[in-house]
Amino acid sequence: MYDIRFAEPGDLSAALALLVRLQADTAHHIGYLGETVEALSEELAEFEPDWSSCSVVATDESGRLAGFLSVEIDSKLRRAWLHGPFVDVPLNHPAGSRIWDQTADALFVKAREILDDITDHELYGHTNHRRLAAFAQRHGFTAGKASSIYLLDNGALRTLLLRDANYSATHEMRVLPTDPAVHEAVAVLHERCFPHSYMSGRQLVDGTKNRTVVVAMDGQRVLGYAGGKAQPEEYYVDFVAVEPDARGQGIGAQLVTELLWKLACDQGARPQAAASILAGNESSRRMFGRLGFRLHLELVAYRHAS
């Protein structure tokens, strides 16, 4: 059995090597986290107060890192996202599944020391990650709908941004911060379309989560918005929503295009763009598909709310 403890800053390079290796395999892949050393380093650097105090590790007798779990906590929402557990064992080894389960459970027990006030926990992993599904079930999490990560590759992204330079949107596009009434309307539309998501409407519009938000206007009325960010390895479209009576006119596609354009202007070039789409959301899949986004990964979230 491995030794389980909180991470130390000196574990960083071993942790990154472990995560890169396991993220490449769909049977171990965890959502929300990137796949390269650059992306993962940047993500861990954003953890508060710092990545090591909210991460636990498993080490073998020689001190080699064999497991990792970190938790991102929003104490206001009393919600935590578990990034992991990652356990470095071959699952086709006769004892592989058992070692995975025992190590993952031990990592979770340790991580609970900092999850005292949390009432809502979430796990997120590839639909092929069968150990995570079993872990979720063992700990009383409920599986949500699968979601797919769609990618717009370098060539298609460049084509879209170049096309955007020559086209004009059918509606006025604003970028937050703007009028407080617009902020309010965006927050309300967000709560209606994405209740209980990882970011509230208020957090989206008040700038605390560092998202770029573009808004389509019809006079003083908000028709829709798109919110996203530039990560080291890609632009990420977090949310896009259009008022029901304005859908099917291309406003959603214009919002995504405008958002990517704005992110490129303000934060520089990235090699690709990504978006997550819930299974069964046909309008969204068609909209992103028309823009050139293609299926990359299928993920499922597991949630435990008390």
Ligand X SMILES: CC(C)(COP(=O)(O)OP(=O)(O)OC[C@H]1O[C@@H](n2cnc3c(N)ncnc32)[C@H](O)[C@@H]1OP(=O)(O)O)[C@@H](O)C(=O)NCCC(=O)NCCS
Q: Are 77 and 200 in contact (CB under 8 A)?
A: yes
Nearer residue to ligand X within complex by CB, 104 or 253: 253
Contacts (CB under 6 A) with ligand X, residues 179-238: 193
Which residue's CB is nearer to ligand X, number 57 or number 241? 241
Whats the size of the chain, residue-wise? 306
Q: Coil, strand or helix: which one is 173?
A: strand
CB of 224 to ligand X, least distance (A): 6
- Determine the interface stretch with ligand X among 54-62, 122-130, 198-206, 246-254 (rule: CB under 6 A): 246-254
Q: Sheet holding 273-278: strands in order across?
A: 3-6, 55-59, 65-74, 79-87, 120-126, 294-305, 142-152, 273-278, 235-242, 221-230, 212-218, 172-175
Question: Could you say whether residue 97 binds ligand X (CB under 6 A)?
Answer: no
The answer to whether 170 contacts ligand X (rule: CB under 6 A) is no
CB of 247 to ligand X, least distance (A): 3
Q: Is 283 in the site for ligand X (CB under 6 A)?
A: yes
Which candidate, 243, 240, 241, places its Cα nearest to that of 275? 240
Binding status of residue 252 toward ligand X by CB under 6 A: yes
Say which residue the tokens 């890609």 belong to: 234
Which member of 40, 104, 205, 241 binds ligand X (CB under 6 A)?
241
Pick the closer one to ligand X by CB: 157 or 240.
240
Q: Which of 96, 144, 232, 250 binds ligand X (CB under 6 A)?
A: 250
Q: What torsion do the CA atoms of 152, 156, 161, 164 make, to the nearest 10 degrees? A: -110
Nearest alpha carbon to residue 125 among 87, 92, 90, 84: 84
39 vs 275, beta carbon nearer ligand X: 275
Contact status, residue 302 vs residue 139, Cβ threshold 8 Å? no
Contact flag: residue 177 with ligand X (CB under 6 A): no
CA distance 36 to 14: 14
d(CA 303, CA 289): 29
Q: How far is the CB of 252 from ligand X (least distance, A)?
A: 2
Asked if 277 is part of the footprint of ligand X (rule: CB under 6 A), the reply reads: yes
Q: Looking up tokens 């993952």, which residue turns up?
A: 104
22 binds ligand X (CB under 6 A): no
Between 103 and 257, CB nearer to ligand X: 257
Stretch of 69-77, 106-114, 261-269, 275-283 lying at the interface with ligand X (CB under 6 A): 275-283
In this complex, which beta carbon is closest to ligand X, that of residue 93 or of residue 290?
Answer: 290
Rounded to an integer, what distance in angstroms lies between the CA atom of residue 145 and that of residue 11?
A: 34
Stretch that binds ligand X, among 108-116, 152-160, 242-250, 263-271 (CB under 6 A): 242-250
Shortest Cβ 249–ligand X spacing (Å): 5
Cα 173 from chain centre: 26
Shortest Å distance, C-beta 157 to ligand X: 17
CA atoms within 13 A on the CB side of 82: 32
248, 265, 266, 267: which one binds ligand X (CB under 6 A): 248
> By the criterion CB under 6 A, which residues form the site for ligand X?
193, 240-242, 247-253, 275, 277, 281, 283-284, 286-287, 290
